[in-house]
Amino acid sequence: MIKKLIDKLLGKSGTASGSKSRFGKRQEHSVEVHGIDPALVDERAKNVVSTLQDAGFEAYVVGGAVRDLLLGLRPKDFDVATNATPEQVKQLFRRAFIIGRRFRIVHVVYGRGREHEVIEVSTFRAYMDNAAAGQVTGNERTSKGELAAMKHAVDASGRVLRDNVWGPQEEDAARRDFSVNAMYYDPQRQIVVDYHNGIKDAKKRVLRMIGDPATRYREDPVRIIRAVRFSAKLAARGFTLEPKTAAPLVEMSRLLADVPQSRLFDEMLKLLQTGHAAATIAQLRFLGLQRGIYPLLDVVVERADQPFVKAALADTDRRVSEGKTVAPSFLLACVLWNDVREGWARRTEGRNGQRGMAPFPALQDAIDEVFNARIGDVSGRGKLGTDMREIWMMQPRFDKRSGATPYSLVEQARFRAAFDFMRLRADIGEVSEAIAEWWQEFSTADDVRRQDLLDQVRDEQQKGKRVHTRAPRRGDGGSNQKGRASDTGESDSAGPESGDDPSQDGDDASADESASTSAPRKRRRRRKPRTGGAGGAGGAAGASSGE
């Protein structure tokens, strides 16, 4: 009573009722209501929760993991929310790292190498009205100095640039995006804490934005992409976007122009690599967002129905569903392969009576052009770009099945990725199936069998049973001795003539010449490869991860 009187005297009479509506009503649901199977909860997530609780803090599994648990799914990732500050969390775990500026969170790391697991721990955040936030006129880069001293800041459009003000759980729930992502699960007591009827929405299979959708998209335009991702992921489970949540998407998408390109690039990869790429493409088209989110994503959507890209998207979804790893370099290499091929062929053809570029520099030049036009500086000059380049540069080398090329190729670190790329090309008829099968066997065979495979190719070439030959080129003297097609069904695979394969070395060239003669060739013993990196063929998308 006294508090209400003081609030009234201070002019806060409307605040209390407004807060109650904004923050919702806390509801605790027992296992009889939510039905979550504790066996689906990752032991490391349980350990993080129990460690925080034993230290006297509140701690819950939160977000999409709770949503998936309600649906009887085993979540891929587990996030934890707590009232402990990042510094307090870090002190409780041996391997914990505070990351981020916009949102400061803690990564608690278990295991090492590729088998490591990260549990992301965030601190309950206060619900801050934008009117009370610090204002900057620029963005993250241009206002870096101002933002360094701010805990809560927005730009001129209302986009949140800093959000590191801690608060109670009820306010933390209100600042999350969708009601089904705003629930908290305590694996110790097996209760679900729900402020915004998330359980009801999950049962009704509806994705509903908490608060006014337009305002929430303005706070963080990336929520537009998240709406697409969640609706695509959950479409198979019968979920649909609430009409009020979907209505502002197209109009608000213009705000994505102010989001850093690196963040949009990462969000694009999430759309394509979470196992629902095909559904995501369909959802983008359905919502009218097939263009305008990110330039490279526009290309993916535009080419999604092309056989090669369609096969790559389907294979990526398959691998994710099987729990296998995928890498963005492989999928993007598939999407942009047509650009590389066209640029490569254009440079080798020659114009105005002049001879074209040599195949090797022509291919390199075509790749550079594609990076400049499609990738830019976001990730095209880093590891992702290097991996894509190696995948493309190895393609003409698969046409060389004599000399030292096969031995050196299977020892390359990116052989698996390049082979699976070629295997996918064979699946759509761009490369001879016989070539793919030959490399499949060669990559897994022992030294004796590998020599037999090489002898087989040599003998077939000596018999002169060619499926097709290329037309004589100037300087060849009318000879077709370098034609590489044989009765194994080999075909041109890359555009420029692979008889001029730029990647072959001196041994390869001499091997070709001897293979074109009638005299039998002396068998040479081949050294055993230093590594077993060739391996067997994996799925197309996942091999790019170097499994």
DSSP 236-262: TTT-EE-HHHHTTHHHHGGGGGGS-HH
**pLDDT over threshold 50, residue 212:** yes
Q: Quote the pLDDT of residue 233.
A: 92
Confidence of residue 24 (pLDDT cuts 50, 70, 90): confident
pLDDT digits (tens, 9 = 90+) for 476-525: 443 333 333 333 334 444 445 443 444 434 344 333 433 333 344 444 44
CA–CA separation, 20 vs 359, rounded Å? Answer: 69
Q: Is the pLDDT of residue 253 over 90?
A: yes
Task: Write phi, then psi, for 160 (nearest 5 degrees).
Answer: -75, 125
Q: What is the mean pLDDT of residues 307-330?
A: 91
pLDDT digits (tens, 9 = 90+) for 351-382: 776 788 888 899 999 999 998 888 766 654 57
Please name the amino acid found at residue 497. E
- What local confidence, expressed as pLDDT, does residue 258 receive? 85
Checking if the pLDDT of 385 tops 60, the result is yes
For residues 510 and 195, the model is more confident at 195
Greater model confidence, 467 or 87: 87
SS (H, E, C) 52-121: HHHCCCCEEEECHHHHHHHCCCCCCCCEEEECCCHHHHHHHCCCEEEECCCCCEEEEEECCHHHCEEEEE
pLDDT value at 31 more than 70: yes
**Does the pTM exceed 0.75?**
no
Mean model confidence pLDDT for the chain: 79
pLDDT at residue 526 tops 60: no
Catalytic (active-site) positions: 77, 79, 177
Q: Which residue has the higher pLDDT, 223 or 11?
A: 223
- CB neighbours of 91 closer than 8 A, spacing ≥ 6? none
pLDDT of residue 381: 56
Per residue in 38-59, pLDDT (tens digit) is 999 999 999 999 999 999 999 9
